[in-house]
Structure 1
């Protein structure tokens, strides 16, 4: 498929209140992320996630972020939240990603942690089983959860990527640097969480609006 026909996606992850969800939707975010990892400060219960998903449905793609999910938990989320995408942010193997994608009958985004050039090799096995790759900064070694730490990585590492690879970029993005990231890296989309917060897990509506505007402007310039 012609890459030019594919939309540029802006994802706001870790939303947990109707007010900040409304800010993301009103700003024009393409995807909203709901985090189901209990150790994350952005964790939402099934009841809260279902409430937020109902508000977002039809306005943005609903993404359920899971970390090494078991089948029972995944089925609960699928039934109650009815997401449009699953984001796998744990140590899922390519075979597990394929199995989850088949079981859920949904497109899957697989996160791959990047911190050094050698990490690029980890992408290849997922290309055939994931609908989209998310390149994120590797978390600290002692981290309690795998993403949303506000860390960036050296974008120059991505210079050797296959130009045909469609991926979303994450890790340390914020309203001030997302434009430069898009121009330098040329991703198919960007994903932000910490960069639009006033405190861990507390989204800032003004930052969300500024992030979406900056990302959209940069993406339009690179078309």
Structure 2
């Protein structure tokens, strides 16, 4: 079964709709420069309403170890997504502190899936599209065959330009462990379109079960 992570959650209504629709994880962006930024205290308020089977994930960019651990304690996230230029030793230190680590990689020309081998402490790898000046939320897909080639190195979360319209094809081509959606189900940054969100999750789960 393909896991579905809905990223860029900023409000309770979106969180509850995603949970009811069958999301497996919700992403809370702690990077201050993100248009979907949320404070740890506010994330904690939303997470308190989530059922226990939903994994809350904190998204950080080049944050210190102490900073990540503080955000995790303050918010209640159980996993952290490293979306910057973090090193393998950063992932290892956070995993040793008891956090599930998702290391994000931006895929562009010349990307080598073998890089994932260096991050043995990561529980999963998120592959997103490389767009100059952006850290996620690009709304643009990359060559999904890259994700399939990366699968021998760990659990792959496919991201980048996923929508209700293309998610079935993406799963068939990439064969990922999970998928991550943000802009493809938004009305505007930080506000989800509930119809598209439900349809995305429905199609992802249906394709995974077929």
TM-score interval w.r.t. the shorter chain? Answer: over 0.9
The corresponding residue for 2:108 is 115
Identify which of 80, 83, 89 aligns with 1:95.
Answer: 89
The corresponding residue for 1:85 is 79
- 1:86 deviates by 1.1
- TM-score under structure 1 normalisation? 0.88
Q: How does 1:1-223 map to 2 (within 5 A)?
A: 7-103=1-97, 105-126=98-119, 128-138=120-130, 140-143=131-134, 146-163=135-152, 165-221=154-210
Measured on the aligned residues, the alpha-carbon RMSD in Å equals 1.6
- 1:162 deviates by 5.0
- TM-score under structure 2 normalisation? 0.93
The corresponding residue for 1:3 is none
Distance 1:206 1:120, change over 3 A: same
User: Which aligned segments of 4 or more residues in structure 1 are displaced greater than 4 angstroms?
Assistant: none
- 1:122 deviates by 2.2
Separation (CA, whole Å) in 1 of partners of 2:55 and 2:108: 29
DSSP-derived class of the 2:81 partner: strand
Query: Do the aligned residues in 2 keep the contact of 1:86 with 1:109 (CA within 8 Å)?
Result: yes
Separation (CA, whole Å) in 1 of partners of 2:19 and 2:148: 32
- 1:57 deviates by 4.3
Separation (CA, whole Å) in 1 of partners of 2:83 and 2:203: 26
Any unmatched runs of 5+ in structure 2?
none
